[in-house]
Amino acid sequence: MKLQFLNKLALDVVSGGNIYNKIIIEGLRQKNITVDYNIGHTNKKYDFAIVDSLYMNSIDKETLLNQNKQIFALIHQIPSLSKDALLFYKTNAKFIVTGEPTKRNLINNWKIDNENIIIIRPGISKNWKPKIEFSDKPKHIIIVANLVKNKGFEMFIRILKRINHLNLTFHIVSNNELDKTYANAIINQIINTSDKVKFHFNLNRDEVYEQLIKSDVFLSLSESETFGMALFEALNLNIPSIAYKTGDYNCFSSFKNYLVHNKYLDDCFIDTIETWINNPNIYKSYCNTYNQIKRSWDDTIEEFSKCLQKNTIAC
């Protein structure tokens, strides 16, 4: 089996979608599936093309059809497509999404048939063991989010101004290179607001785990997520987590360490943080929930492989 994987980003760029892509590609290659990543112009023929959502507007439709027996659009974030591009994918492709909300979005807004959408959720590294020791009250809050718009950093700055008097440190694990102008502006605003924030840029996966496992609270301030992989990782690691009701929240609701807000308001997040600090028993109720990691990346790779095999078109 041979496939080509098309994306705008180099595979070493740190982002939630790219983490997923890289693990899938490595896993498929271990199953002896040939995967060419962004190979450029070629006369090769493939069984499949996987087109990342960032690349969906960039394809040469005729070449894509001629080179591949089957096309999959892999949706990490909903792109804005031209009418022609949308019609092309609706006619010629199947869709892989990472969670139920994205599937509903494609059905409602793009009018994609339910049977043409496959959910393949991310997983967790088998080496990532859950947190089992907790402080009496939270002191170390972590945010794992790229420094790009719509991740809630403006809200974070407002919240920081109001709770800067509390005995807290914040750790931001992020990629600051995707939108350098925006990232630098946000970093400067945070530095000018508080000296209690530490930045950790462009870490590898094991380094991200080390930061997560040291934290007392995971804070997600995103107003809109297609899945919410960083939150999913924190929940699986047994870390008390606060988030707005976005991403695959129905999936997340099975975790007892998940506190979800229905309203996207500064006060909601501030009230929770203050409550957990002032009422250790309430905070403790979100700790030691003994979540078992039930889904590994091996599960994701296996589902992806089976999806390809099921959709293999014979010559």
Identify whether the C-beta of residue 211 lies closer than 8 Å to the C-beta of residue 174. Answer: no
Identify whether the C-beta of residue 97 lies closer than 8 Å to the C-beta of residue 76. Answer: no
Conformational region of residue 313, where left means phi above 0, alpha means psi within -120 to 50, and beta covers everything else = beta
Please state the φ and ψ torsions of residue 48, each to the nearest 5 degrees.
-145, 150
pLDDT, tens digit, 9 for 90 and up, residues 167-189 = 999 999 999 999 999 999 999 99
Which residues face 261 on adjacent strands? Answer: 244
User: How many other C-beta atoms are found inside a 10 Å radius of the C-beta of residue 227?
Assistant: 27
Identify whether the C-beta of residue 28 lies closer than 8 Å to the C-beta of residue 301. Answer: yes
Identify whether the C-beta of residue 259 lies closer than 8 Å to the C-beta of residue 45. Answer: no
The whole-angstrom separation of Cα 271 and Cα 206 is 32
Q: Give the pairing of strands 197-201 and 217-219.
A: unpaired
Question: What was the pLDDT predicted at 311?
Answer: 83
User: How many other C-beta atoms are found inside a 10 Å radius of the C-beta of residue 300?
Assistant: 20
Identify whether the C-beta of residue 201 lies closer than 8 Å to the C-beta of residue 175. Answer: yes
Question: What was the pLDDT predicted at 315?
Answer: 33
User: What integer is the mean pLDDT of 210-238?
Assistant: 95
Please state the φ and ψ torsions of residue 224, each to the nearest 5 degrees.
-145, 125
Q: Which of 98, 83, 3 is nearest to 51 (CA)?
A: 3
pLDDT, tens digit, 9 for 90 and up, residues 60-103 = 888 899 999 999 999 999 999 999 999 999 999 999 999 999 99
User: What integer is the mean pLDDT of 215-229?
Assistant: 95
pTM, full prediction: 0.91
The whole-angstrom separation of Cα 124 and Cα 118 is 20
pLDDT, tens digit, 9 for 90 and up, residues 264-289 = 999 999 999 999 999 999 999 999 77
Separation of CA 96 from chain center: 14
The whole-angstrom separation of Cα 249 and Cα 245 is 6
Separation of CA 267 from chain center: 25
Cα-only R_g, the chain: 21
The whole-angstrom separation of Cα 155 and Cα 213 is 24
